[in-house]
Amino acid sequence: MQQIVCPKCKARVDASLNFCPGCGSALPLPNSRGGNSGGKLTQVNQQHVANAILNEGKKKENPKVSLAVGVITAVLVIGVIAYLIISAGGSSSATPTVADSINASNVESSNQVPESSDSAIVPTTESSQESTSENSTEVSEENPEESMAEPVASEVVITAEKPDDWSDIYVYVYTDDMFKNANWPGEIMTANGDGTYSYAISSSFADKNTFLVFSTSQLNKGAKLSKQFPYMSDNGYSLSEKNTFTVSDFETYANEKANK
C-alpha cells in the first residue's frame, strides 16, 4: 500500500485518501500522486474523513471547560455517595439530641471515681451509712441546743395612756439579768394621736422575764401622781401579764400604795 506524508501534521497516511485521518487536512490531489483519479470519496475515505473531523473537534474543545465539567461531576458523585451513607446510618440509629448529650455527660461524670485525697468524698456502703446516722443521732441527743434553731420572736408593741400632769412618757424595759433597752429613764414612747402612746419592744427580749417602768422627765405644776410607775421600791410591770396600761391602772396602784 502506497503512503504519503500529511503536509500539516506530518503523519503517514494511505495515498488513496483525500483527507488526513489524523488532523482532517486535505491531502494532495490524487492525479498528482496517483491512485484514486475519480475525484470521489470511497466509503473507507469517508470514514477516515469523519474520524478526522471528530478528532479535530475534540482537539478544539476548551480544556478549561472540560476540567470544570469533570470537577462538578466528581463533586456530585461524592455528594450522592455521602448522602447514601448518612441515610443508611440514620435508619439504624436515631440522631442524638442535646438532651441525650447532657444525659450522657451526666452519666459519664457520675461514673468517674474521685482521686484519692483527704478531702475527697468516698461513697459509703449501706452499713457505714447506718453507722453515720446513728452517730449523728447520738450527737443530737447529747447537744439538743445545737440541733435546733433558736426561735425568733416578733416585736411586742405595748401601749400606755399618759397622765394629764405628765409632760411626756418614757418606758424602761429590763430583765432579771439587767438586759435593758436603754439607760434610765429608757426610751420615750410615740404618741398615737388618740391620747395613747406606743413602744415596740425588740425581739431580743423574747423568752426573758421582762419588766416595764413608766416615767416622765418632769411633772407639771400641781402634779397629783408620782414621777414613775411602779415606784422605785417595787419591780416593774411584768410584760407576761399585760402590755396595755391606762391612767386608771396607775391611779389604782398609787391608791394601793398610799393605803398601806
Looking up cell 446513728 gives 134
Instruction: Write down the pLDDT at residue 61.
Output: 54
Looking up cell 445545737 gives 146
- The mean per-residue pLDDT over the stretch 190-208 comes to 91
Instruction: Write down the pLDDT at residue 114.
Output: 44
Encode 238-253 in three state secondary structure.
ECCCCCEECHHHHHHH
- Give the CATH fold of the 156-258 domain: Immunoglobulin-like (2.60.40)
pLDDT over 70 (residue 16): yes
d(CA 237, CA 173): 10
Query: By the 8 A CB rule, do 240 and 210 touch?
Result: yes
Q: Where in the chain is the domain with CATH 2.60.40.10?
A: 156-258
pLDDT of 91-108, one tens digit each? 554 444 444 544 555 545
pLDDT of 203-221, one tens digit each? 888 888 999 999 998 887 7
pLDDT over 90 (residue 169): yes
Instruction: Write down the pLDDT at residue 206.
Output: 81
Instruction: Write down the pLDDT at residue 146.
Output: 39
Instruction: Write down the pLDDT at residue 170.
Output: 97
Query: By the 8 A CB rule, do 179 and 208 touch?
Result: yes
d(CA 8, CA 20): 9
Give the residues across from 198 on adjacent strands.
159, 190
Grid cell locating 136: 449523728
pLDDT of 36-79, one tens digit each? 444 444 555 556 556 666 665 555 556 666 787 788 888 888 98
pLDDT over 80 (residue 247): yes
pLDDT over 50 (residue 29): yes
Burial 148-184 (b: 16+ CB within 10 A, else e): eeeeeeeebebbbbbbeebeebbbbbbeeeeeebeee
| Element holding 128 (H helix, E strand) | helix 126-142
d(CA 173, CA 182): 8
Query: By the 8 A CB rule, do 173 and 201 touch?
Result: yes
Instruction: Write down the pLDDT at residue 260.
Output: 80
Mean pLDDT is lowest, of 22-31, 119-128, 150-159, for 119-128
